[in-house]
Amino acid sequence: MKKVEYKGLQLVSTKRASWLYNPLNDRMITTTQSLEEYLLTIDDENNPLHQFYVSKKQKQSLTNFHIINISLENSKTNWLKKSFSFLLNRYITLLFLILALISTVSISKSFANLNSTLSLSEIISLYIALCFIIIPLHEYAHFVIYDHYFNFSKMRFGFALRYFSLLVFFTKVPFYKLMTTSQKRSTALAGIKMQIILWAILASFCTIFPNRFLIIITITNIGMLLINTIPFLKLDGYWLLSSLLQTTDYMEDFVMMFRGNLPKRPIILFI
């Protein structure tokens, strides 16, 4: 696999195909033809790829509307990526999981006695914590592992409004489909690992500084962690199961099998 970057365009080539991504307008093209020679004259209006280079962004979906899009030099976040890489090490994550379980047991009585009715200020504070702390850390963890394999000079991230209500942080991982099975598995697991780390930190704080709102955030994080592991929603568990089944999207494969475009795989039909 060969990676080339020219004027912001990101090209990944294999023996059978080329994938070219334009971070400026979030467009991707795939072809069996070599594209490197076209990049050198990308500013030429007669170049077949010129329109792809200068065209506007694609129309956004109302259910997934990008409010903020930011482009940042990847090298400026090296210190942050190194910190995340250390924390996402399997043995470090396992230590955090043990700490999370011990701390949760020690504050289990506080969980049981918690008044489940939330005030308006608590709801707003919880929403802010989710949108600007938990979800961004979760999503950035995915990007850190992805970046091990596709380290281009610029990264794109931002905030999107999904389903008219949820403000979510996102990072772009355009070449995810080109990753190997083990790489996809590591990338899918990164978000779950980060929420285990957050669980341990939050639960530990609850044992040291008992606080109603900290307990609420801890419970919410645990709930999000469990939901993310469900393999039948298009969340981390879904992509993890897809990687274990050695496919990019097992439900997409099921549809193609149903239409007769792919050979039948009993395990996917069963799931």
CA–CA distance, 134 with 12 (Å, rounded to integer): 32
Predicted confidence at residue 74, as pLDDT, reads: 86
Predicted confidence at residue 166, as pLDDT, reads: 77
Predicted confidence at residue 236, as pLDDT, reads: 93
pLDDT at 104 over 80: yes
CA–CA distance, 155 with 76 (Å, rounded to integer): 10
Main-chain dihedrals φ then ψ at residue 170, nearest 5 degrees: -140, 155
What is the average per-residue pLDDT within 222-242?
Answer: 92
Q: Which residue has the higher pLDDT, 17 or 1?
A: 17
Name the percent of the chain lying above pLDDT 90.
57
